[in-house]
Each structure stands twice: as structure tokens, then as C-alpha cells.
Structure 1
Amino acid sequence: MALIITDECINCDVCEPECPNGAISQGDEIYVIDPDSCTECVGHFDEPQCQQVCPVDCIPLDPEHVETKEQLMEKFLKLTAQS
């Protein structure tokens, strides 16, 4: 699954620089996560780094983007493939 940032986000700016895939960006009102780039940090870390640093715990799994660990690893490999 990709992760999602809920409307409880306080725009504290700590999650964006922690994302190794660059999947987090400032949206219209709160930060957003691009599900095509989110691997839940699979391939980089054992735990999603954005969840680790979020002070208000507003980054749950996105039920609309269900993926297995294997699918997340495949996405990681595609995102990090050398051209």
C-alpha cells in the first residue's frame, strides 16, 4: 500500500525531506503523497520514514492503493533503476 496524509496534517514540513523517493510534496492545503512513487520506504528502510517523524500521526496506509511488499519492492526497483 502507499501511504496517505490525512487532513490532520499541520504542515510542519518534517515528512517531505525524509522521503527517499520524493513522493511527498506540498498540496493545496496539506502535504500529499504520490502513490506512484510511495514504496512505504521498502528498499530503503525497515519502516516508513514519514510515519516515524510525523508529530501528529496523520500518515496511515492508503486503502485505495493496496500493494504487497513484493509489489512495493518492484516499484522501488523501477524507481531506482539506472538509465
Structure 2
Amino acid sequence: MLAAKTILPIIGVPVPLEHLKGMDSLLSIVKKPRGVPVATVAIEGLENAAILAAEILSIQDEDLKNRLRNWRNALTETVLLNPEARGVI
């Protein structure tokens, strides 16, 4: 609903509810009419939502872009050295 009231980017984070485990939240976010876009991450994808927001902001912030690049490179290196860390970081 917020997406219909603003032209700013909206990131939807589906939250799991007891009965449908978040599928109802996910569908309510992704089923928007044409012209009302919502970027959507996975159910309980708070960390990825924050990263996506930082990536959007980095379009006009070179320092943030460099920090994201360094973080992503460090993350890749960590996973290459310790594959069990995948999904944990």
C-alpha cells in the first residue's frame, strides 16, 4: 500500500506468519498493479533488504559504493576459504 502513495523506492520484506509461513506476505508484496513497483527480498530477508537499500543509495555516494565493494569482496573471500560460512554472514 505504501508503494502506491510514493515515488520513492520501496523494499518489501515478507514476514512469516504462523499459518502460511510468509507466503501470504510475499504474495501481497509481489502482486502489485503495473506502475506500482516494489523491490522484494526473501521471506525474513532483512539483511538483504538493508544491502539493497545501501546499493540504491550508493548510486550517488562513491564512498558507500567503495565500502559495499570492499564488504562484498571480503564476503566472497570468506566463503571461498570456508564454504560452510555460506548463508551465515
TM-score (norm 1): 0.32
Give the helix-richer structure, 1 or 2.
2
Larger radius of gyration: 2
